[in-house]
Amino acid sequence: MIDIRPFNGLGKFKIDWLNASHHFSFGHYNDPNRMGLGALRVWNDDTIEPGTGFDPHPHRDMEIITYVRKGAITHQDRLGNRGRTEAGDVQVMSAGTGIVHAEYNEEPDETQIFQIWILPDAAGHEPRWDAKAFPKEDRAGELVVLASGREQDSGALRINQDAAVLGATITKGQKVVHTLGSGRKAYLVPAVGTISVNGQPVKARDGVAITDEDEIEILAEETSEIVLVDVP
């Protein structure tokens, strides 16, 4: 089943420094039909104005993956971690038993991110943070694993769940294929560009919920940048 969720129909939240679109229920946006997909709980599309951001706040028992689409995000937490993650790169925060962190756009222009929350395989993991560069040229024409808890995905940022976050950049006419295991689900968003998913058209920043499909065929109708989450 391919369920396309147009960008304009997502939950919306806008204040002076943040313009957010919610693929699943979050904050003031509550849709009982969009409470998550398998272990995937949150997918937010955030635009953050320069010199602003999320002040210190707590999390626990959640795997939080940030994919930077434009600009850069600067993370700091009370474990002593601090880092700047640029466009195309990824950071992971395992909240575990509890972590307090802040995220700021310290750049001169707006920053755009996907923030993806995945439920962990168990409560009480040790909290941690990590980030890694994933050059777009290394993802040209193929899906590359960016974050994962699967044993076979060496080189990816680690999360505490049998799930994977993948990315690819594909030019017009290119196709990538992803195989889903039995009982698994996927959620896919093109950060940039227009694609088709198993023959169905999808525009930039639309969401695609995929269930009961053995294979996902993604065709670029124009140069596109895609992010896909594979979850139990």
- CA 217 – CA 228 distance, rounded (Å): 12
* pLDDT score, position 136: 85
Find out whether 201 and 209 touch, Cβ atoms under 8 Å. Answer: no
Q: Quick one: three-class SS letters along 39-77?
A: CEEEEEEEEECCCEEEEEEEECCCEEEEEEEECEEEEEE
What stretches in the chain show pLDDT beneath 70? none
pTM (predicted TM-score): 0.97
- CA 130 – CA 146 distance, rounded (Å): 12
* pLDDT score, position 190: 98
Longest dimension (CA), the chain: 47
* pLDDT score, position 138: 87
- What the chain holds in terms of domains, given with CATH numbers, is 2-231 (2.60.120.10)
Report the b/e string of 12-28 with b at 16+ CB within 10 A.
eeeeeebbbbbbbbbee
Reported as type and span, the H/E element at residue 93 is strand 90-94
Tokens, residue 23: 């693929």
Tokens, residue 72: 């850069």
Amino acid at 206: D
- Phi, psi (deg, nearest 5) at residue 49: -70, 155
- CA 43 – CA 213 distance, rounded (Å): 21
DSSP 3: E
- CA 88 – CA 144 distance, rounded (Å): 12
